Amino acid sequence: MTTQEALFKYTLRIGDNDLILGHRLAEWCSYGPTLEEDLALTNIALDLTGEAQALLQYAAEVEGKGRSADDLAYKRPERQFYNSIITELPKGDFGYSIVRQFLFDAYELPFFQMLTKSKDETLSAIAHKAVKEVKYHLRHSANWVIRLGDGTEESHNRVQKSLNDLWEYTGELFEMDEVDETVLKEGIGVDLTLVKAEWDETVNKVLAEATLTRPEDGWMQTGAKREGIHSEYLGYILTDMQYLPRAYPDAQW
């Protein structure tokens, strides 16, 4: 695997995570439990989609085949997406989306913080910008995990169940393969074992404050980030997302 090939896939993985999770969050528009939350969730969706745009544009440049960020978002088939499965799971109730968001934010913040040190100037610049946004995302989701966990009996039970259901999808975020090893060796990528250590710390702290129980690690779902083997949900996301560009391939929007 050349550095260029690794960098392309590496950048796609980060960008796809943001694109797909941003898409799921955007589904909250007009569905929020309060108007303030409606606004907050679409705001985070907006940040993530913006980050995805920058990352996919860079991925397209790295690939060097004349594709654009939009080509990558709107013309790639399911099996060429490399987001982790946790980002594509249906939005569920508010608690489920919040727990998912928290688990992801707690990963993405240290990830982008470390990526600011990348020797790749573009990735470093994107990471710098993203860190500011993701700090806010994590504060928002952590606060809600605490409020819901330590709120009413109903809210506690709901988010504990969401946490239990989502746990098996957290392992994939920290998997490292040849792609990661290659970019890590070049000083471009991030050591995910270090990200995992920070993630553990954040998760343990917030769950304790939320009076929630951290699930035991068991089997961890895998396959999407490495080789594009996804859950059944991704196909439906792409069906919506790619409908217009695929139905009218000659059109500019």
Partner 1 sequence: MEELDKLQQFQQKIDAEKKIEPKDWMPEDYRKHLIRQISQHAHSEVIGMQPEGNWITRAPSLRSKIILLAKIQDEAGHGLYLYSAAETLGISREEMINQLHTGKAKYSSIFNYPSLTWADIGAIGWLVDGAAIVNQVSLQRTSYGPYSRAMIKICMEESFHQRQGYEIMAKMAQGTPEQKEMAQDALNRWWWPSLMMFGPHDNESAHTGNAMKWKIKRETNDELRQKFIDKTVQQAEVIGLTIPDPDLKWNEERGHYDFGEIDWEEFWRVVNGNGPCNKKRLNHHKKVHEEGRWVREAAAAYAKKQKNKQIAA
By CB under 8 A, residue 184 contacts partner 1:
no
By CB under 8 A, residue 32 contacts partner 1:
yes
Comparison of 114 and 230: residue with beta carbon closer to partner 1? 230
Comparison of 93 and 201: residue with beta carbon closer to partner 1? 93
By CB under 8 A, residue 39 contacts partner 1:
yes
**Ranges within 224-243 binding partner 1 (CB under 8 A):** 237, 240-241, 243
Comparison of 73 and 103: residue with beta carbon closer to partner 1? 73
Q: Which of 7, 12, 14, 45 binds partner 1 (CB under 8 A)?
A: 45
Closest CA to 77 of 252, 249, 238, 213: 238
Binding flags for partner 1, 155-174, as an x/- string (CB under 8 A):
x--x----------------
Q: What is the 3-state secondary structure (H, E, C) of the chain?
A: CCHHHHHHHHHHHHHHHHHHHHHHHHCCCCCCCCHHHHHHHHHHHHHHHHHHHHHHHHHHHHHCCCCCHHHHHHHCCHHHCCCCHHHCCCCCCHHHHHHHHHHHHHHHHHHHHHHCCCCCHHHHHHHHHHHHHHHHHHHHHHHHHHHHHCCCHHHHHHHHHHHHHHHHHCHHHHCCCHHHHHHHHCCCCCCHHHHHHHHHHHHHHHHHHCCCCCCCCCCCCCCHHHHCCCCCHHHHHHHHHCHHHHHCCCCCC
Selected range binding partner 1 among 19-27, 117-125, 161-169, 198-206, rule: CB under 8 A: 19-27
- Give the CA count within 13 Å in the CB-facing half-sphere of 211: 11
Comparison of 26 and 184: residue with beta carbon closer to partner 1? 26
Binding flags for partner 1, 56-85, as an x/- string (CB under 8 A):
x------------xx--xx-----------
Q: How far is the CB of 109 from partner 1 (least distance, A)?
A: 22
By CB under 8 A, residue 38 contacts partner 1:
yes
Q: How far is the CB of 218 from partner 1 (least distance, A)?
A: 28
Contact between 168 and 220 under an 8 Å Cβ cutoff? The reply is yes
Q: How far is the CB of 253 from partner 1 (least distance, A)?
A: 4
By CB under 8 A, residue 46 contacts partner 1:
yes
* Straight-line distance from the first to the last Cα atom of the chain, in angstroms, rounded to the nearest whole number: 36
Contact between 76 and 69 under an 8 Å Cβ cutoff? The reply is no
Q: How far is the CB of 73 from partner 1 (least distance, A)?
A: 6
Residues of this chain that interact with partner 1 (CB under 8 A) are 23, 26-27, 29-39, 42-43, 45-46, 49-50, 52-53, 56, 69-70, 73-74, 93-95, 146-148, 150-152, 154-155, 158, 237, 240-241, 243-245, 248, 250-253
